[in-house]
Amino acid sequence: MFTKIEDVDGAVRQEFSHSPIPCGVAVEHRFYDADGKVIRQDQFIAATKPFVIATDKGQEIV
Amino acid sequence: MAFTGPYVCNNFLQDLLAFLTGKTIKMALYDSTASLTAATSAYTTSGELASGSGYTTGGKTMTGFTTGRSGSVAYADWDDVVWTSASLTAYGALQHNSTDSKAMLVLDFGGPKQVIAGTLTIVLPTADSTHAFLRLSS
């Protein structure tokens, strides 16, 4: 769901959204012109779900 | 003296990550036709976004490589990866070791992420033992 965060002279508005994704959270930021057309769209993808490699120290020597 | 168990020595964990020092590490972007899994062994152009509109095949060279360790957790991290003045749609990414032609990590964006005449930023976490992008623990 997009949230409007700013109106600029009623002509240009910006909206952003947050959405959880498998590797973190994506933030989408849209910029509109006076006609409501998206003239720019940015994406910020947070790699907040780190890759963790755990070693196995429970191996037995037989 | 008695042994208290088998251990992976803490310094060795960091040594393992230190092998990335001096390597050219890249992040490449892919569309929905890509098939990247744990079995992916090397960078592939299959499903990769085409060059143009702010993207170059092979991906963006990652900068700011750092490693560290806190106790039994070693970590590696890089600066954010940024494509500017881009118009593209990506479904995921592959971090790869370009120097040795090896695949490293697959990122799943969970769907199409479209950029229109804008900036795509993959924001990497803080470089520490609890947040870093890549952590190795025993």
Nearest CA in chain A to B12: A55
pLDDT digits (tens, 9 = 90+) for B26-54: 999 999 999 999 999 999 999 999 999 99
- A26 Cβ under 8 Å from any chain B Cβ: yes
A35 confidence band (pLDDT: 50, 70, 90): confident
- Is residue A50 over pLDDT 90? no
pLDDT digits (tens, 9 = 90+) for B52-81: 999 999 999 999 999 999 998 999 999 999
Confidence at residue B127, expressed as pLDDT on a 0 to 100 scale: 92
Least confident of A4-18, B12-26, B86-100: A4-18
A20 confidence band (pLDDT: 50, 70, 90): confident
Nearest CA in chain B to A61: B6
Interface test with B, best of A23, A25, A33, A57 (most B CBs within 10 A): A23
Rounded to a whole number of angstroms, the distance between the first and last alpha carbons of chain A is 57
A18 φ/ψ angles, rounded to the nearest 5 degrees: -120, 140
A24 confidence band (pLDDT: 50, 70, 90): confident
- A62 Cβ under 8 Å from any chain B Cβ: no
Is the separation of the CB atoms in B65 and B78 below 8 Å?
yes
How many angstroms separate the CA atoms of B14 and B20, rounded?
A: 11
8 Å CB contact of B113 and A42: no
Three-state DSSP string of chain B: CCCCCCCCCHHHHHHHHHCCCCCCEEEEEECCCCCCCCCCCCCCCCCECCCECCECCCCEECCCCEEEEECCEEEEECCCEEEEEEEEEEEEEEEEECCCCEEEEEEEEEEEEEEEEEEEEEECCCCCCCCCCEEEEC
Smallest CA-to-CA distance from B96 within B6, B11, B30, B14 is with: B30
In the stretch 7-26 of chain B, residues with CB closer than 8 A to chain A read 7-8, 13
A39 confidence band (pLDDT: 50, 70, 90): confident
A55 confidence band (pLDDT: 50, 70, 90): low
How many angstroms separate the CA atoms of B53 and A60, rounded?
A: 54
Nearest CA in chain B to A53: B136
Confidence at residue A56, expressed as pLDDT on a 0 to 100 scale: 56
- Is residue B96 over pLDDT 70? yes
- Selecting from A23, A44, A58 the residue whose C-beta is nearest the C-beta of B107 gives A23
8 Å CB contact of A39 and B116: yes
Q: What are the structure tokens assigned to B30, written together? A: 């892919």
- Is residue A51 over pLDDT 90? no
Alpha carbons within 13 angstroms on the beta-carbon side of residue B15 total 5
Please state, rounded to an integer, the average pLDDT across all residues of chain B.
94
